[in-house]
Structures are given as structure tokens and as C-alpha cells.
Structure 1
Amino acid sequence: MIGHDIFVPAPLLVVSIGIMVMLAATAWRRSVGRGFLCAAGMLLLAITVVGHHTGKAPDGGDSLFVQDRWTACTAILIMFSTLCIMLMSWRDAGVAREDEYPLLLMLGTLGALAMVFSANYMPFFLGLEILGVSIMGLVTFGHRAVPGHEAAMKYLILSGVSSAILLFGIGLAYGVTGSLRFMPPIAAGAVPAALPVAATIMILAGMFFKLSAVPFHMWLPDVMEGAPVPVAAFVAVVSKIAIFSALVRYFGTQNQPPFLDDILCGVIILTIMGGNLMALRQAGFIRLMAYSSIAHMGYLLIAFVCPGRLQSGVVSVYLAAYTVNTLGVFAAMDAFAIPGGPDGRVVAQWKGAFFSRPFLASVMSLMLLSLAGIPPGIGFFAKFGIAAAGVEHQRDLLLCFLIIGSIIGLYYYLNIVRTMMAAPALPSVSLNRQMRPELTVLVIVLSMIVVIGGLFPARAIHPFLPPPVAPSGTGDGATH
């Protein structure tokens, strides 16, 4: 691994260079606009070089990074999401006041990409911590200073505990295998010893915390509620894509041992039901979306325990649909906000939105219905793919909870639509409010993706159908 021929995916290099350029520009002269432009330019360049790399992967599979169609798919989703969040943040008075903000966004994106491309515990853990530190800084931005500091402190404490558990598990895994390859220390189908079991469970618990699976979910609603709207979108989308991509890479598309399968099924049921039931009680829009995100992670985990020919494609399509729909909700929420007026963070503030802001209300309804799995949104085909994978593997119990959770989710999504269709009690102060041009473009593009993906699913989802994912340490699919 020492030498000039180290294998590194090109997007990691481009984003790293972009961060160094932004740091140098900040040391020379501060400029928020220049920081955003530099970050956006580097992300666009990184997207264009996805699939390229420098160096050559060693023959034995002992590489720090892995590159294949699965990593390309998830890396594009992460960088696309960050670009959308930058458009949401551009000229946002709540966050776009300091040039550290785009720098932290880029650092978080670098950490997420390092997790996606990891074939070794070292870059995975470093990427996880870089992402976590950047989230802590981003949460404190904006005019909601007190809630932001409280949310960042909660994330700091709980994230530190989960990272310690994860690191302990990594240490145990290294003691068992003598290798830092990113793969579980247990053999599928075998009855493993106590130490490999303990290592695998601790690593899985650390990943479940970052994924906000129940019962490791308690941090997500508080952190998202205390953060500015674009940062809440970053937490709900980018961090989830990164950790789920790493989770699939870690275990690969293989059957899990019986003891681990039972644990995963229990977590899936708790996550689906816990996320949906807790979302029913929320009056705050962002807290509702946080619990909705938890439920969607439960749906994704159904595909995770259904290995085979469908798994990688189903997970990719669902991640893409979840990304576009969630970004659309937060973009519409950001566009709804009025300086000195309602900010859209409370569901009741959307009352009568179809009369005062018909375009935004229509976009919000489209995104919510797609999240609920109603056609013609792309979310319908994404959820149908999860159900198909469950049917193929005869996961009857999990499918029952998928149906129950979807029905509950339909209720609180439609309740928001009903609120927007209700006649406002007073004339809305937002009738003359003009959307920022960049937000108008963003919500239109996201709406087109949702509709086109729903009407022409075969063509829309074809780029998101990589072959089955192998664990990083096997060498299968570990190179370009």
C-alpha cells in the first residue's frame, strides 16, 4: 500500500482538492458566494469522473477503496444531493452568511464518499467521523442558534457513544481475523464463536445508530428539528445513503447466519412500526419527516435481508426515489419560508397553501404521495420492488409490517395534503411572496424526476441497477 501507485477513486481526489482550494481561498479573502461556486464546480467535476481512478488495485484485494457500479450509483446520489442542498442554501439568510458553511458541506460529502468507497475499516471509520463532525458544525448554523446548539450537543454525545461501540467492534474484528478488510468476521451459514458474534453485533449496532434504526433512533428528530432546513435535508439524505451503502457493502448479497437474521428482522419491525407510529403524533413538519425517514430505513432493510438478484437493484432504486422525494419536500419547505413570517416547519402553517401557494402545495403533495407509494410517483415502483424482493424470499411477516406501515404512513402524508387543501382562516401573507429562482428550478427538476420515474420506470431506473454487491474483502467486484 505504500508507494505512488495507491488505488484511489477519482471523486475522492476531486472533492479533496476542492476542499483544499476552498481553504486556500478562505485564507486569502472570505467570500460566501465564491465558496458556493467553488464547491458546486468541484461536485459537478466529481460527478463527471465517477468510475475513474488513480493507481491500480492490488491483486490480493488489500485495497483501502473499492470501485464498481454500486459505488458509482451511491456516490452520484450523494453528490447530486449535496448540489441540491447547496441550491437550497444559496441566498438563504439562515445559513449562507459564513463561508465555513459550504466548506462543511464539502467535508461532510467527502466523509460520505469515503464510506461509500471503503474496502477497509480505516477509511470507513475516518469517513464516518468526518461526516459526523461536519454535521455537528452544520446544525449550529442559522438564526435558530439555541435549538441548533442543543441539537449539536445531543448528536455529539450520542454519536460519540455509538462510535465507541463501533470502534470496539472493529477492534474485536481485527483480533479475530487479523485483517482490516471491510467484511464481517463471521461466516454465513456457520455457527460462529462468541468473539466474532460480539464483533459483528457491535459493528452492526454502530451502523444502526447512524442509520437511525429503532431503538437507535432517538437522536434524529431532535437533530433535524434544531437544524436549518437545508442541513436537515443533508442529515436525512446524505448520511443515510452513505451508511446504507456501507452496510450493503459490508455484508454483501449473501444470506446471514440465523442468529443475525433474527436480530435484523426484529430491528426492521421496530423501525417500521416505531417510525410510522411516532410520526402520527408530530405537529412539527421536520420531526414528522425525521420519523418518516426512520420508517423508510426500515423498508430498505427488508431488501437488505433479501439477498439475491433483486437486492442491489431494489436498494438502488429505493435510495434514488427516497433521495429525490425527500429533497423535494425540504426544497418546498425552504421555498415556503418568509423572513419574519411562517417558516413552514409546522404542519399547521401549511393550512390553505393550495389557495395561497398553489405551485408549492402541488409540489409538496406530489412528493408526499410518492413517499407514501402512490402512483404516478417513482416511490410506488420503489416500494413495489421492496415488496417483490420480500415475496421472492417468502418474508411474509416483514411484508405484513410493510403493508401496515405503508397504511399508517399514508394517513399522515394525506393529513398534510388535507391541511393544505383546507380554506385558510385569514388571507395569507405569502400571496405576493416570490420564490428564489434557484429554488424554483430545483423543485421543478425534482418534480420532473419523480413524475418521469413514475411514468417510465424501466428507462428511469435502468442506471440504478448495478450487479449484486460482494463484500469488500472477497475481491469480487472490488475493482473497476
Structure 2
Amino acid sequence: MTLHDTFLPSPLLVLSAGIMLMLAGMAWRRSVVRGLSIGLVTELVALGMVTHHTGTVPDGSMGLFIQDHWTAFTAMLVLFSSACILLMSWRDLTDDGARPAEEYPLLLLLGTLGATAMVFSASYVPFFLGLEIVGISLMGLVAFNHRHFMRGCEAAMKYLILSGLSSAVLLFGMGLAYALTGSLRFAPPIPADGMPPAMAMVATVMILVGMFFKLSVVPFHMWLPDVMEGAPLPVAAFIAVVSKIAIFSTFVRYFGTGSLPPALNGMLYAVIILTILGGNLLALRQSSLTRLMACSSIAHVGYLLIAFLSPGPLQPGVITVYLVAYTVSTLGVFAVMCACSPSLSPNGAAITQWGGLFFTRPFMATAMSLMLLSLAGIPPGIGFFAKFGVAATGVARQRDLLLGALVTGSIMGLYYYLNIIRVMMKAPATPATKTAWRMEPELTTLVIVLTMIVVIGGLFPARIIHPFLPG
């Protein structure tokens, strides 16, 4: 295969060039503003180049990457989310000129490169390389908590140990799958002649467990609230959004549209029910908004898996809308948190800190309420159509148990989402509360954009999903 014939998505080239430019700039003279600017421009250019590629895949050869409607959609979500997270980090990194922070945008851009490589992957090799690039960058980003250094280091160590364990399980399953099929391309393993059928089942289960760790589904979820609480708020948003999109994209690519072996359907049923109920029950007990959002993201993965396990004509559009709804709503919550939380309590962004926000910052409180209502599946946000679509796919495939878990989890979610709105509507305890918030132009603009997407997407969801549907 010649270099001219090698297929490579253009966003990977753009992100790699941006990383090299950032490294060259750091070697010349350190500047966090320049690093953030290069990172933001790189991600916007990569976003504009999502549908472009270099070279072609020769007939009969195994390509490392693939490009279609699904990869274009999920790559756009990854790059858009990463650009939003850079904006969330801007003022916090530039406020203290004495604190070195040039590595932060470099690690964030590196993590975005890994996530984008996972999205475009068509075989085990680029997927695992992208997965480890994301993991390595996140270890540094999680520890980048200058307000609570020890808590950040503790969270980074937890992530290092559990991420390494899950990667080892995933790699072992991939090795077994390669031994069975002799191919590195994504496909559930089918034993060749003379191979024991049980080995294919073991390989599939190990790959599932490895991906479930990364998706933080129950019972592989306990690391997520601790790691997100210890990380800086923008990094917590990266874990909750970008890493989840990348691994779920690969999950769908690998297993197709709900084409798991029949023997594993019962296991997946149990995992989905435990994930929805467990994530919502954990969220009910949280007093930290960051931990609540972590538990909420666990439950939303369970809702997505219902749509995954319900193939049919509705499935592509439902998964598309749900990913958009989850992405913009979660980013919106974290953007408001970054704008309104200059200093966090020892236990994270305590929900009680948000008392009186409707009186001190009515726009931010309104935006936060719309994001939370969207996550709860209440109009006018796009989350209503997302959750309704998941229910529709479950009804079409008669997933009665999963629908019961969906309804029960949604009721529990409604309680803790509305509780945050109730706290924000309380009158501020003292006049000093009014000075506890800060407003930044870039964060205000970001919140406005995300709020518009949530509301307009709720009014016209078809305009979002139509460009990315197959065919």
C-alpha cells in the first residue's frame, strides 16, 4: 500500500498539526493564551474538515479508519464539545499568570485527538491507541486541580489504576478475538474451524466489560463520581461528554445495531436496568453538583443502551437526538458551573451554594434550569424528544422491563433535577451571596449558544438528525 492510497480522516491531521505547533510554541516561549488560542483554532478547523479525508482505501485491503454518517456526526460532537471545554477553561487558566498552565491545552488537544481517532476507527489498532491517548491525557488533566491539589492527585491515581485495569481486560479480549478470526477489523468474534465456541463468548464478554468500564455502567461505575469531583470542572465535563461519546461510538461500530450474541442479551438487560436505577439512586443521595452530574451521566448511558438494544427504523434518529441532547445539556450545566463557581467547597460544587441564583444571576439560573429540564426530559428542551424517542424504540421492540426502568429512572431524575431549580429559587441568605458569583464574556457567550441549541433543538429536532441519517 502506497502512502497516496492510505486513507486518513482530515481531522486527525489537523489535530496532529495543532499539537506539533503548540509544542513548537512552548519550546520558543511559554504562553497559556497562545496555547489556548492554537487549541481553539485547531479544533474549529478540524470541525470544518470532518467530512474530508486524504487518500483512498484500496479494494481488498484492511483500512484502519472508516468515514460515514455516523463517524461524521460523532466526530463533530467530540470536536464541538472539546472547543466548548477550552472556552470553559480560558479565564481560569489566564487569571493566575504565575502558575504554569501551558500543558493544559496541550493535554486537552491530545485527548481530543485520541477521542477522534476512536470515532474514526475501523479496527482494534487505532481504537486502542486512541483509547490510551485519551487515558494518558486525562491523567494529567484530572491532576490539574490547583485549588485542591491533593484531591486532584487522588482522583488521578484512581483513574490511573482503574483505567489500566479496564484497558488490560479490553486488550485481552481483543487478543482472543484476533486469535479466533485472524483479523483486526471490528466484528464480534466468530470461531473458525477447530476453535472452541466458548472462546468467542469469553472474548466478547471481555470486550464488553472493558467498554462498560469506560462507559461507567453499573457495576463498573464507582470510579466516575470520585474522579469527576477531584478534577477541574472543565475536565469533569470532558470525562462526562467527550470520552463517553468516543467509547459509545466505538461500541455501536463494533456491535452494530444491537447485534449481540443472544446468550448475552440477558446480561445486557440486567446491566441496563442496574445502570438506570443505580445511577439515579446514587444521584438522589448527592449533595455535590459535580457528583450528581456524574451519577446522572451513568443513568443516561443506560437510556442510550435501551435505544442500542432496540434496532429498527427509529433507532438511528433516536440515538442521534439523544447524543445531541445529552451533549449540549451537560455542557451547558458545566458552563454555568464554571461561570458561577469561582471557588468550590471542600466537597465539590455543593448544591446549597446555588441558593438565590435566580435573584443574583437570573440569566444563568434560567439557562441552568433549561439544561436540567432537558436532561430530565421535559419540554421545551431537546431532551424531551430524546427520551420520548428512546421510549418509542423500546415500545416498538416490546422491551417491557427496560421501559419500566426508563419510567422509574425518569421519575427519580425529575426529583433531583427539580430540586436544584428549587434551591436556585430560594432568596439569598445574605447580601454577600451576590458577590460570590463571577461573569465572564466567553462563558456567557457559550451559555447563550448552548441554550439556543437546547431550545431550538427541542422545537425542530428533525433539522438536527436529518443530515446525519444514513442514506
Range of TM-score over shorter length? over 0.9
Note if contact 1:154-1:219 (Cα within 8 Å) is conserved in structure 2: yes
**CA distance in 1: counterparts of 2:240 and 2:411, whole angstroms:** 22
User: Given the alignment of the two structures, is residue 141 of structure 1 paired with residue 144 of structure 2, yes or no?
Assistant: yes
Residues 163-172 or 416-425, more deviating? 416-425
Note if contact 1:334-1:344 (Cα within 8 Å) is conserved in structure 2: no
1:459 is displaced (CA, Å) by 2.1
Aligned CA distance change for structure 1 residues 345 and 367 (closer, same or farther; 3 Å): same
User: Given the alignment of the two structures, is residue 354 of structure 1 paired with residue 358 of structure 2, yes or no?
Assistant: yes
Q: Which whole-Å deviations, capped at 9, do the CAs of 1:227-264 have from their partners, x for residues lacking one?
A: 01111001100000000000000011253322111111
**CA distance in 2: counterparts of 1:61 and 1:13, whole angstroms:** 22
Q: Secondary structure at the match of 1:173?
A: helix
Q: Secondary structure at the match of 1:309?
A: coil
Residues 112-121 or 422-431, more deviating? 422-431
User: Given the alignment of the two structures, is residue 212 of structure 1 paired with residue 206 of structure 2, yes or no?
Assistant: no
Letter matched to residue 230 of structure 1: P
2:51 paired residue number: 51
Q: Which whole-Å deviations, capped at 9, do the CAs of 1:54-109 have from their partners, x for residues lacking one?
A: 11112225100000010000000000000000110112148984111000011000
User: Given the alignment of the two structures, is residue 114 of structure 1 paired with residue 117 of structure 2, yes or no?
Assistant: yes
| Residue of structure 2 aligned with 1:442, choices 437, 440, 446 | 446
Note if contact 1:344-1:350 (Cα within 8 Å) is conserved in structure 2: no
**CA distance in 2: counterparts of 1:128 and 1:67, whole angstroms:** 18
Residues 168-177 or 304-313, more deviating? 304-313
**CA distance in 1: counterparts of 2:395 and 2:261, whole angstroms:** 20
Residues 344-353 or 242-251, more deviating? 344-353
**CA distance in 1: counterparts of 2:245 and 2:344, whole angstroms:** 34
1:12 paired residue number: 12
Question: How does 1:64-463 map onto structure 2 within 5 Å?
Answer: 64-93=64-93, 97-143=100-146, 144-186=148-190, 193-338=197-342, 345-431=349-435, 433-463=437-467
1:432 is displaced (CA, Å) by 8.1
Note if contact 1:334-1:343 (Cα within 8 Å) is conserved in structure 2: no
**CA distance in 2: counterparts of 1:223 and 1:373, whole angstroms:** 26
1:210 is displaced (CA, Å) by 0.3
Letter matched to residue 428 of structure 2: P
Q: Which whole-Å deviations, capped at 9, do the CAs of 1:144-202 have from their partners, x for residues lacking one?
A: 21110000000000111111100100100000001111111049xxxx81001000110
Higher relative contact order (CA 8 A, sep 6+): 1
Letter matched to residue 58 of structure 2: P
Q: Aligned pair count?
A: 464
Q: Secondary structure at the match of 1:430?
A: helix
1:351 is displaced (CA, Å) by 1.1
**CA distance in 2: counterparts of 1:295 and 1:399, whole angstroms:** 14
Letter matched to residue 388 of structure 1: A
Letter matched to residue 53 of structure 2: H
Note if contact 1:166-1:202 (Cα within 8 Å) is conserved in structure 2: yes
Note if contact 1:333-1:344 (Cα within 8 Å) is conserved in structure 2: no
Letter matched to residue 214 of structure 1: V
What TM-score do the two structures reach when normalised by structure 2? 0.95
**CA distance in 2: counterparts of 1:394 and 1:251, whole angstroms:** 21
Note if contact 1:14-1:46 (Cα within 8 Å) is conserved in structure 2: yes
Aligned CA distance change for structure 1 residues 340 and 316 (closer, same or farther; 3 Å): closer
1:339 is displaced (CA, Å) by 5.2
Aligned CA distance change for structure 1 residues 133 and 342 (closer, same or farther; 3 Å): closer
Note if contact 1:312-1:465 (Cα within 8 Å) is conserved in structure 2: yes
Q: Which whole-Å deviations, capped at 9, do the CAs of 1:293-315 have from their partners, x for residues lacking one?
A: 00000000001111222222211
Note if contact 1:65-1:117 (Cα within 8 Å) is conserved in structure 2: yes
Is there any run of 5+ residues in structure 1 with no aligned partner, and where? 468-480
Letter matched to residue 59 of structure 1: D
Residues 15-24 or 239-248, more deviating? 15-24
What TM-score do the two structures reach when normalised by structure 1? 0.93
Letter matched to residue 29 of structure 2: R
Note if contact 1:139-1:223 (Cα within 8 Å) is conserved in structure 2: yes
Say what the alpha-carbon RMSD is for the aligned residues. 1.9
